[in-house]
Homo-oligomer: A and B are copies of this chain.
Amino acid sequence: MADCGLFGIYGHKNAAELAYLGLYSLQHRGQESAGIVVSDQMTLRQHKGMGLVTDVFSDSATLSELVGNLAVGHTRYSTTGSPLPGNIQPLLVNCKGGPLAVAHNGNLVNANALRRRMEQEGSLFQTSMDSETIVHLTARSQKRNLLDRMVEALAQVKGAYSILAIARDKIIAIRDPYGFRPLCLGRLGDAWLVSSESCALDIIGGEYFRDVEPGEIVILKENGLSSFQAFDSSRHAFCIFEYIYFSRPDSKIFAKNVDKARRGLGKELAVEHPAQADIIISVPDSSNTAALGYSEASGINFELGLIRNHYIGRTFIEPRSEIRDLMVRIKFNPVAGVLKGKRVVVVEDSIVRGTTMRNLAGLIRQAGAKEVHVRVSCPPVRFPCYYGIDFQTEDELIASSKTVEQIRKFLNVDSLGYLSLDGMVRAMAGSPGEYCVACFTGDYPVKPEEKVEKVSLEKM
């Protein structure tokens, strides 16, 4: 399922509308598809579609028909290739105990084996998502109630999962024992909220309550919130990349402000890799905060050297005209007045394949920069992620086969500095064992049993 956005609400007459707003503010976690399932305590109704939340729900009648006071929504990350309409979540099925819809953020590492076994026994899978495995395991459990069936199901899967499930009368929120992906609880008057990030609580005027704990199952029902520790959680593995790049700076995740964490990375980066330069610029918008941190710690002015074009629609026709660096120009335009004659530090949050950064550096130089120094607010990404971040296979990660100096040459820049692993953890003011840093170290908290499906997404 990759890294996605989840939002749930229990106990509000406009549940679908608020879920719409919540998903809207989680849009950065997935632009491929969106869906909402709502319950009026009897019937589960859904609306799902490919595209942005505002495109999927472009008709107010659609929301009006989603009657009920509990709702669960999902927004899915866009991977390349042809995403299947059938794969849109939440996944709504008819089980023996009644209708059930499940939304999943994260990635399982033993889904294929489980699937093969169940198919052998006669189960028919409707999608190609690992998430469906959980649904089938739940449906096949002979335990007496839904909760027990879900526990029995989850005891069999391995990997990263934050889950929201909705049945006729309840929402069930679950986080895997390692806590790879964030999930937090909130309140809006009497209603309960649950969301991947706290920014979705803010947009509807709600308040952060607490995180769902690793291994915990939370039930939101008419009689309020109840919860229990379903799975032992001896080792945490919070995805540090959520802080580096994925989450919004105005969110709180893993009980910490993203802005503060990201700014700390920038400051630490300035200490580890200072530069003799005239200005600091960021690659907007994702590295803005780290760049400000770098600027603050270094005392060098922060400037807006790149303008980001925010009008890129769902489809961009790549012209046949041979324009050098076209695709990067489509996204960014350098501000010559800022860059001309300057020694420039470009702060970037991370480098994956390196092609975007190389093209950007070229544009900056064309605009008149005298020197280009790249500073990256995390260590080199060298290993694929099996828990939901859409990193390429190893051979597409530039740092898996090249030294920092080789990368610098590839980028064609004057200097290049990556934040160290120690520096990164130190900036977090967290204990080293709290985070998953497998993409930097290859030290996987849960052993990947299967090859992750290759995706060729470049972070842009």
Q: Which residues of A contact B (CB under 8 A)?
A: 12, 14, 17-18, 20-21, 24-25, 27-28, 31, 52-55, 57-60, 63, 93-96, 119-126, 135-136, 139-142, 199, 202-205, 248-250, 257, 259-260, 285, 288-289, 292, 296, 301-304, 307, 309-321, 323-324, 326, 329-330, 333-338
Chain B residues closer than 8 Å to A330, beta-carbon distance: 21, 24, 203
8 Å CB contact of A307 from B31, B123, B249: B249
Residue of B nearest to A135 (CB): B124
User: Does B17 contact A316, Cβ atoms closer than 8 Å?
Assistant: no
8 Å CB contact of A259 from B123, B136, B338: B338
Alpha-carbon distance between A329 and B136 when the two chains are bound, in angstroms: 39
Chain B residues closer than 8 Å to A203, beta-carbon distance: 329-330, 333
Tell me what chain A mostly uses at the interface: helix, strand, loop, or mixed: mixed
User: Does B250 contact A14, Cβ atoms closer than 8 Å?
Assistant: no
Alpha-carbon distance between A320 and B28 when the two chains are bound, in angstroms: 24
Alpha-carbon distance between A202 and B28 when the two chains are bound, in angstroms: 28
> What 4 A-B pairs are tightest by C-beta distance, nearest first?
A122-B140, A54-B313, A17-B319, A257-B337
User: Does A63 contact B248, Cβ atoms closer than 8 Å?
Assistant: no
User: Does B292 contact A248, Cβ atoms closer than 8 Å?
Assistant: no
User: Does A249 contact B329, Cβ atoms closer than 8 Å?
Assistant: no
Alpha-carbon distance between A3 and B213 when the two chains are bound, in angstroms: 53
User: Does A123 contact B123, Cβ atoms closer than 8 Å?
Assistant: yes
User: Does A54 contact B314, Cβ atoms closer than 8 Å?
Assistant: yes
Residue of B nearest to A116 (CB): B96
User: Does A24 contact B309, Cβ atoms closer than 8 Å?
Assistant: yes
* In the complex with contacts A21-B319, A311-B31, A335-B259, A94-B122 CB distance below 8 A: no
Smallest Cβ distance from A353 to chain B, in angstroms? Answer: 23
Alpha-carbon distance between A382 and B93 when the two chains are bound, in angstroms: 38
* In the complex with contacts A53-B311, A124-B124, A337-B257, A59-B14 CB distance below 8 A: no
8 Å CB contact of A292 from B123, B302, B318: B302
Smallest Cβ distance from A368 to chain B, in angstroms? Answer: 12
* In the complex with contacts A313-B52, A333-B199, A17-B139 CB distance below 8 A: no
Chain B residues closer than 8 Å to A24, beta-carbon distance: 309, 311, 330
A-B CB contact pairs (8 Å), 14 listed: A17-B320, A21-B326, A24-B309, A27-B309, A27-B311, A57-B317, A60-B317, A121-B140, A123-B139, A124-B126, A126-B126, A204-B329, A205-B329, A310-B310
User: Does B141 contact A122, Cβ atoms closer than 8 Å?
Assistant: yes
Alpha-carbon distance between A31 and B310 when the two chains are bound, in angstroms: 12
Smallest Cβ distance from A81 to chain B, in angstroms? Answer: 16
8 Å CB contact of A311 from B28, B123, B317, B335: B28
Smallest Cβ distance from A140 to chain B, in angstroms? Answer: 3
8 Å CB contact of A139 from B53, B122, B316, B337: B122
Smallest Cβ distance from A249 to chain B, in angstroms? Answer: 6
8 Å CB contact of A54 from B63, B302, B316: B316
Chain B residues closer than 8 Å to A315, beta-carbon distance: 54-55, 58-59
Residue among A27, A63, A319 with most chain B CB within 10 A = A319
Alpha-carbon distance between A289 and B303 when the two chains are bound, in angstroms: 8
User: Does A304 contact B289, Cβ atoms closer than 8 Å?
Assistant: yes
Chain B residues closer than 8 Å to A249, beta-carbon distance: 304, 307, 335
Smallest Cβ distance from A330 to chain B, in angstroms? Answer: 7
* In the complex with contacts A31-B311, A317-B20, A329-B202, A335-B250 CB distance below 8 A: yes
Alpha-carbon distance between A20 and B316 when the two chains are bound, in angstroms: 10
Chain B residues closer than 8 Å to A257, beta-carbon distance: 336-337
Alpha-carbon distance between A286 and B353 when the two chains are bound, in angstroms: 31
Chain B residues closer than 8 Å to A54, beta-carbon distance: 311-317
User: Does A59 contact B124, Cβ atoms closer than 8 Å?
Assistant: no
